[in-house]
Amino acid sequence: MAKTFSYTAQSSKSALKAAGGIDLDEADRAIINALQGDFPVCEHPYAQVASDLGLEERQVIGRIEKLLADGVLSRFGPLYHAEKMGGELTLAAIAVPEDRFDDVTDLVNAHEEVAHNYERDDDLNMWFVVATDQPGRIAEIISDIENETGLAVHNMPKLEEFFVGLRFEV
């Protein structure tokens, strides 16, 4: 199977050791540690994982369900590469005057293409991700936000990706 650069890099990295705050038993830990990368694509994938880990198929399914419900896992499934799906993404930032922060937040968040928006402790104090599935739309949205807010938007699309991913060991 061909692997992307980031995948290769990920498998060569060590996992971060998790600590504190959560109560997991051995089966939970085995599932979290084993399933961050290669969930099988086959007729009975949970049964295969179960047999690799010495668990029952219904245990694996039940544990994943519970870990998702408890918020220990934020997702389970395929992680897609947005640009390779034909989408376009950028990271943008604005230096927002303090007294206008709430208004500007509303104006920026009103765009459905704004996926994430964070306040950060810097002169550039608002950082947001714009994602569209129509190539060429990003520039339009950035210029709309500039017109609506009267503030300069710094558009910082990625020029090269070196790594995406992170493994945790619990």
Partner 1 sequence: MPELDTTKELDATDRLIIEATQAGLPLTPQPYHEIAKRLELDAKDVMDRIKAMQDSGVIRRIGVVPNHYKLGYRGNGMSVWDIADADISSVGKIVGALDCVSHCYHRPRQGVDWPYNLFAMVHGHDRTEVADKVAAIADQLGELQKGHKILFSTRILKKTGLRLKGSNTTGRDPSATRSAA
Which residues, at least 6 apart from 128, have a Cβ–Cβ distance to it below 8 Å?
Answer: 91, 92, 93, 108, 114, 115, 116, 117, 118
Pairing verdict, β 16-17 and 168-169? parallel
- Does 162 interact with partner 1 (rule: CB under 8 A)? yes
- Does 138 interact with partner 1 (rule: CB under 8 A)? no
CB of 97 to partner 1, least distance (A): 16
Instruction: Give the nearer residue to partner 1 in terms of CB position, either 67 or 145.
Output: 67
Instruction: Give the nearer residue to partner 1 in terms of CB position, either 19 or 99.
Output: 19
- Does 71 interact with partner 1 (rule: CB under 8 A)? yes
- Does 41 interact with partner 1 (rule: CB under 8 A)? yes
Tell me the two tokens of residue 94.
């604005």
- Does 69 interact with partner 1 (rule: CB under 8 A)? no
Contact status, residue 60 vs residue 32, Cβ threshold 8 Å: no
Contact status, residue 153 vs residue 124, Cβ threshold 8 Å: no
- Does 154 interact with partner 1 (rule: CB under 8 A)? yes
